[in-house]
Amino acid sequence: METQRHSVDDELAALTRTLDAVLERMRRLVEENASLRRGRDQLAGERAALMTRNEQARARVEAMIERLKSLENAN
């Protein structure tokens, strides 16, 4: 009877350690996931800003080309 009790206690202790390890791993994964989401959101914002700047630069270049063409036609 005493041996059987130790066996159950040992199994419970092992299960507790396993559960603790799983919970710790889950906590780390949740933290990592949140960090990755923040990084993704930051990169999306940077991408949008770069696309806006690129479009503004394209518009300025096109305007310069049009001015150059009008100067060329004026001569």
First to last CA, the chain: 110
| Predicted model pTM | 0.66
Q: Binning pLDDT at 50, 70 and 90, where does residue 1 land? A: low
* DSSP 3-state percent helix, strand, coil across the chain (nearest 5): 95, 0, 5
pLDDT tens track for 35-65:
999 999 999 999 999 999 999 999 999 999 9
Alpha-carbon 66 to chain mean position:
42
